[in-house]
């Protein structure tokens, strides 16, 4: 049986190892993809010609890994995918980020990446939704849109020549986030999918899965796709909508489910979130007990079963 | 108020005179060319981007790597990312309790660590950013720098930062004409010359070489060969530990 202590073992790095060993038993041994370490030579003998992908470099005509991880081969392209690296932005990614500073005509946003991203004044919708040139006055009023410390949902618009990221929030679904809970997980656990704004009606919450590993959970709002109610016609009001104790509990349950999945290193998808929350409700687990050993064991065995079915 | 130093008990600093017995055995029972027992483990801290814990005999080192991230202080534009190292000896790491604040030997260790790692990290992959390496020596039992370099390289690999190869380091002390691999603090105290070699074994490149004392070229060659042998041994351990930690993470998150 699994060896998780009954106390809180949430910090332990061994959790991933426990989960992995459990899944290994189901799939019958080693993963199909070979794992390489930094500096290992990647075999390219069977291939006629290869293209150097991410996480590799060519030394004396041989392909050498520069990060440790799984080797991925797509046609001629050979790359090494690591699970622990910082977030690398791709065009069109939905992100959750925090405004760090205002400088000139732009906000600097911390997106958990190598550098802070830039959100230009011209890349946001003005309060009131009017379309016009940005004036010097708009520049002075930038703090009425986003302040330092605000959490925002946004999308990657483009890249600058030096690789830094330009964001935009030119859609009603993007904008300032409030009245919810933020959970941070490893960005490799969140795959790019069709929808990142996910209404989970069965749980009564809306979730924004930021590709950079930041996940935002709010009480479910009927009709609206999810969150970001701020970009509408009325200017920013600081009146918080009333949230019932039941809704708060639902948000906490979902957030704790995300934390538990993150600690175990299990991919986060709408299905895994829902399954984990349902399991906790079925087992009658208290909110605070969701991060403790016994329930983590439940998640592991549930995930094991799910993989066996597939 | 009493002076802070008054409560420290008197400890005579008696270091053993002879560190090698007539039969060629060292104080801890090792042979001259024998390594101390080593333990290396990645992912020791949950909050850091990458981390490692390393033990070599009595020397215990913990390393945390943060970044790549925008550097806190504004600096000039650079195409190459920066590697900032900070080595700290815990106040209880040595026999004599250490003073508060960074000492000169810590500053020197930080500099040497940075040089050893800079050559291995592919700094062009994170322009304008920096990585911070914080290295804490929990117990100082000799050859701290070699353990710190090995652990730091493992922590960088754990953080998923691109490197040419993992770096391992090894040192040799010369005591009364004899070469001792991987010296303890007592042995290093009696040395009249030392060699520290940090290298990337798979790429077969040296990143750092620190030599003190006078050496004949024949003995230097012998010392370097010893060091390289030690580095290769450590390299095997490092690779195994990194690959197994990566394999576990992959198996946990795999989704069909």
A267 to chain B, minimum CA–CA distance in Å? 5
CB contact under 8 A, B250 and A83: yes
Angle separating helix axes A293-309 and A14-27, nearest 10 degrees: 30
| % residues pLDDT > 70 (chain B) | 92
Mean pLDDT of B52-76: 88
A37 to chain B, minimum CA–CA distance in Å? 6
For residue A126, give the DSSP letter.
P
Q: Specify the pLDDT at position A308.
A: 84
**Nearest-Cα residue of chain B relative to residue A28:** B251
Q: List the single residue in A84, A114, A189 with the smallest CB-CB distance to B129.
A: A114
Looking at the domain assignment, is residue A42 inside a domain? yes
Q: List the single residue in B128, B166, B254 with the smallest CB-CB distance to A39.
A: B166
Q: Specify the pLDDT at position B137.
A: 96
The answer to whether A42 faces chain B, any CB pair under 8 Å, is no
Looking at the domain assignment, is residue A70 inside a domain? yes
Q: Specify the pLDDT at position B145.
A: 96
**pLDDT tens digits along B154-196:** 999 999 999 999 999 999 999 999 999 999 999 999 999 999 9
B79 to chain A, minimum CA–CA distance in Å? 9
The answer to whether A265 faces chain B, any CB pair under 8 Å, is yes
A114 chain-B contacts, CB cut-off 8 A: 67-70, 126, 129
Interface of B with A in 95-154 (CB under 8 A): 122, 126-129
Q: List the single residue in B126, B159, B243 with the smallest CB-CB distance to A37.
A: B243
Task: Give the helix/strand (H/E) hosting B218.
Answer: helix B217-253
A48 to chain B, minimum CA–CA distance in Å? 24
Q: List the single residue in B46, B252, B254 with the smallest CB-CB distance to A264.
A: B252
The answer to whether A16 faces chain B, any CB pair under 8 Å, is yes
Q: How far apart are CA B202 and CA B186, in angstroms?
A: 32
Instruction: Report whether the peptide linkage leading into residue B68 is cis, meaning its omega lies within 30 degrees of zero.
Output: yes
**Dihedral Cα B198, B201, B202, B206, nearest 10 deg:** 40
B166 to chain A, minimum CA–CA distance in Å? 6
**pLDDT tens digits along B7-37:** 666 666 678 888 899 888 999 999 999 999 9
Show the tokens assigned to B126.
Answer: 């994170």
Phi first, then psi: what are they for A56, rounded to 5°? -135, 160
3-state secondary structure B113-179: HHHHHHCCECHHHCCCEEEEEEEEEEECCCCHHHHHHHHHHHHHHHCCCCECCCCEEEEEEEECCEE
Position of tokens 């309790």?
Answer: B97
- CA angle in degrees (0–180, nearest 5) for B248-A259-A31: 20
In CATH terms, the fold of domain B31-253 is Ribosomal Protein S5; domain 2 (3.30.230)
Interface of B with A in 43-102 (CB under 8 A): 43-44, 46, 49-50, 67-70
Mean pLDDT of B196-212: 95
Pick among A8, A26, A38, A70 to test the B interface (most B CBs inside 10 A) = A38
| Side-chain half-sphere exposure of B144, counting CA atoms within 13 A | 26
Q: List the single residue in A21, A64, A265 with the smallest CB-CB distance to B253.
A: A265
Provide CB contacts within 8 A for A264, sequence distance 6+. A15, A16, A19, A296, A299, A300, A303, B252
| Domain segments of chain B as ranges | 31-253
DSSP string, A215-280: EEEEE--SSSSSS--TTSSS----PPPP--HHHHHHHHHHHHHHHHHHHHT----HHHHHHHHHHH
Q: List the single residue in B68, B70, B250 with the smallest CB-CB distance to A70.
A: B250
**Nearest-Cα residue of chain B relative to residue A32:** B251
A112 to chain B, minimum CA–CA distance in Å? 8
Tally the domains of chain A. 1
Looking at the domain assignment, is residue A147 inside a domain? no
pTM for the predicted model, two decimal places: 0.84
Q: List the single residue in A84, A116, A265 with the smallest CB-CB distance to B159.
A: A84
Which residues form the domain of A61?
35-83
A135 to chain B, minimum CA–CA distance in Å? 29
CB contact under 8 A, B253 and A114: no
DSSP string, A56-108: EEEETTEEEESS-EEEEEETTEEEEE-SSSPB---TT-EEEEEEEEEETTEEE
Residue A130 near residue A147 (C-beta atoms within 8 A) = no
Find the length of chain B.
256
Residue A287 near residue A252 (C-beta atoms within 8 A) = yes
Q: A146, A169, A105: which is closest to A236 by C-alpha? A: A146
B49 chain-A contacts, CB cut-off 8 A: 84, 86
Per-residue pLDDT of chain A (310 residues; tens, 9 = 90+): 344 443 334 444 567 777 777 776 655 444 456 889 999 999 887 777 889 999 999 998 889 999 998 898 888 899 998 887 889 899 999 999 999 999 889 999 999 988 899 999 999 988 877 888 888 999 999 999 999 999 999 999 999 987 889 999 998 889 999 889 999 998 989 999 999 999 999 999 999 999 999 999 999 887 654 444 444 444 455 666 778 899 999 999 999 999 999 988 889 999 999 999 999 999 999 998 898 888 988 998 888 888 888 7
Q: What's the CATH number where A68 sits?
A: 2.40.50.100
Q: List the single residue in A30, A84, A264 with the smallest CB-CB distance to B160.
A: A84
For residue B7, give the DSSP letter.
G
Task: Tell me chain B's radius of gyration from C-alpha atoms.
Answer: 19
Q: How far apart are CA B100 and CA B5, in angstroms?
A: 12
Provide CB contacts within 8 A for B87, sequence distance 6+. B106, B109, B110, B113, B135, B137, B144, B145, B148
A191 chain-B contacts, CB cut-off 8 A: 255
B176 to chain A, minimum CA–CA distance in Å? 38
- The ipTM of this complex is 0.83
Residue A165 near residue A109 (C-beta atoms within 8 A) = no
């Amino acid at each position: 049986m699994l060896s998780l202590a009954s106390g809180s073992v949430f910090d332990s790095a061994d959790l991933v190892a426990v989960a992995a060993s459990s899944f290994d038993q189901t799939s019958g041994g080693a993963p199909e993809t070979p794992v390489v370490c930094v500096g290992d030579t990647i075999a390219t003998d069977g291939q006629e010609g290869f293209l150097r992908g991410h996480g590799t470099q060519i030394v004396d005509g041989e392909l050498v890994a520069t990060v440790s991880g799984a080797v991925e081969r797509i046609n001629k392209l050979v790359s090494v995918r690591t699970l622990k690296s910082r977030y690398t932005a791709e065009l069109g990614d939905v992100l959750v980020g925090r405004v760090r500073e205002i400088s000139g005509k732009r906000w600097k946003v911390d997106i958990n990446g190598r550098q802070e991203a830039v959100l230009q004044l011209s890349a946001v919708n003005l309060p009131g939704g009017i379309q016009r040139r940005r004036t010097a006055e708009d520049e002075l009023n930038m703090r009425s849109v986003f302040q330092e410390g605000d959490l925002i949902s946004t999308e990657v618009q483009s890249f600058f020549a030096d690789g830094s990221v330009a964001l935009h929030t030119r859609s009603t679904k993007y904008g300032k986030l409030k009245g919810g809970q933020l959970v941070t997980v490893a960005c490799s656990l969140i795959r790019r999918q069709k929808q990142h704004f996910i209404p989970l009606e069965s749980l009564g919450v809306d979730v924004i899965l930021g590709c950079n590993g930041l996940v935002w959970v709010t009480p479910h709002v009927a009709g609206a796709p999810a969150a970001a109610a701020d970009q509408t016609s009325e200017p920013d009001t600081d009146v918080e909508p009333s949230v019932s104790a039941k809704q708060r509990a639902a948000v906490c349950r979902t957030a704790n489910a995300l934390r538990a999945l993150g600690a175990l290193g299990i991919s986060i998808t709408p299905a895994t979130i829902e399954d984990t929350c349902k399991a906790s409700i079925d087992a009658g687990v208290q909110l605070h007990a969701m991060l403790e050993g016994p329930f983590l064991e439940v998640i592991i065995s549930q995930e094991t079963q799910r993989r066996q079915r597939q | 108020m009493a002076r802070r130093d008054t409560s420290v008990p008197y400890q005579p600093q008696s270091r053993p005179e002879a560190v090698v017995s007539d039969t060629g055995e060292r104080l801890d029972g090792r042979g001259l060319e024998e390594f101390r027992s080593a333990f290396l483990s990645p992912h020791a801290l949950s909050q850091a981007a990458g981390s490692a814990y390393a033990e070599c005999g009595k020397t215990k080192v913990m390393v945390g790597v943060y970044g790549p991230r925008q550097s806190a202080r504004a600096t000039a534009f650079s195409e190459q990312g920066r590697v900032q190292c900070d080595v700290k000896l815990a106040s209880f790491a040595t026999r004599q309790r250490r003073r508060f604040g960074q000492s000169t030997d810590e500053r020197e260790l930080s500099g040497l660590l940075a040089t050893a790692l800079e050559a291995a990290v592919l700094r062009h992959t994170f322009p304008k950013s920096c990585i911070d390496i914080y290295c804490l020596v929990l117990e100082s039992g000799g050859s701290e720098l070699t353990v710190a370099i090995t652990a730091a390289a493992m922590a960088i690999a754990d953080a998923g930062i691109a490197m040419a190869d993992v770096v391992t380091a090894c040192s040799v002390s010369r005591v009364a004409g004899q070469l001792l691999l991987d010296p303890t603090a007592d042995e290093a105290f009696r040395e009249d010359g030392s060699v520290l070699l940090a290298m990337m074994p798979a790429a077969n490149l040296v990143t750092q070489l620190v030599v003190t004392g006078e050496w004949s070229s024949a003995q230097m060659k012998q010392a370097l060969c010893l060091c390289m042998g030690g580095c290769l041994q450590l390299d095997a351990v490092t690779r195994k530990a990194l690959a197994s930690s990566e394999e576990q993470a992959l198996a946990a998150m795999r989704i069909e």
